[in-house]
Amino acid sequence: MPSLLLRHADAVYTCDDARRIVRDGYVHVEDGRVASVGPEPAPALAVDETTGKVWVAWTDQHGVVVSSSTGQGADGTWSMPLTVSTATTTVMPWVAARGGKVDVVYYGSSASSTDDPSAVWNTFDSQSTGGGWQVIKVSNTPNRVGRVCLEGSGCTGNVDRELLDLFEVAEDPVSGRAAVIYTDTTLDTWTSPTTGTHQLPEIVLAYEQP
């Protein structure tokens, strides 16, 4: 495992791009260098019930990474982590697997961070059918424009949370195709008498086409 050596340090902190201290942060080392620093990623997990292979997917907000286990998740049975996305910034990955086919869905943007107020977000599916990986854009049009806050109730002013946590992918056991549920905040708005106009989250269901 790559290691990071720090000498004569009185304290070590993890910070985001704006130099704000991130609690429970981590340092991601890739190819012998520090690739990113950020909050601890929460992995998504799926088990291919036809093969028994366990799949996990996670993101450090700068790429979606997958790993798989052929030994029920036991130590020493995991594959090397592989980045399967191409978007600059990525959030909220979910994974489904069946029959050797894997679909990893996530929101992605070409913006440099989730704090960019002009960020254009789309829904993507990184898919493998047993060989390499291909990236498929699920959303026909952007499903969000603006910042994305991932801190839940910790979001300042309780704003930029419109993507909610209503994101899911599943494999159809009959057709073998993926079905994706994601949030679109660009379709409609609602007006509060006290806080003005806000984006109205709408739930979209997308089916993989043959």
For residue range 68-82, what is the model confidence (pLDDT) as tens digits?
A: 999 988 888 899 999
Q: Which residues of 36-55 are buried (b: 16+ CB within 10 A; e: fewer)?
A: bbbbebeebebbbeeeebbb
* Residue 176 pLDDT: 94
For residue 173, being part of any structural domain is answered with yes
For residue 1, being part of any structural domain is answered with no
* Residue 197 pLDDT: 86
Domain holding 32, by residue range, is 7-40
Q: Higher confidence at residue 105 or residue 37? A: 105
Residue type, 121: W
What's the total number of domains in the chain?
2
Statement: residue 124 has pLDDT above 80: yes
Please list, in sequence order, all residues whose beta carbon lies within 8 angstroms of the beta carbon of residue 172, skipping any fewer than 6 positions away: 178, 179
Q: How far apart are CA 73 and CA 131, in angstroms?
A: 21
Adjacent-strand bridge partners of 47: 54
121 and 200 in a single domain? The answer is yes
93 and 193 in a single domain? The answer is yes
32 and 106 in a single domain? The answer is no
Please list, in sequence order, all residues whose beta carbon lies within 8 angstroms of the beta carbon of residue 210, skipping any fewer than 6 positions away: 175, 177
Q: What is the pTM of this model?
A: 0.80
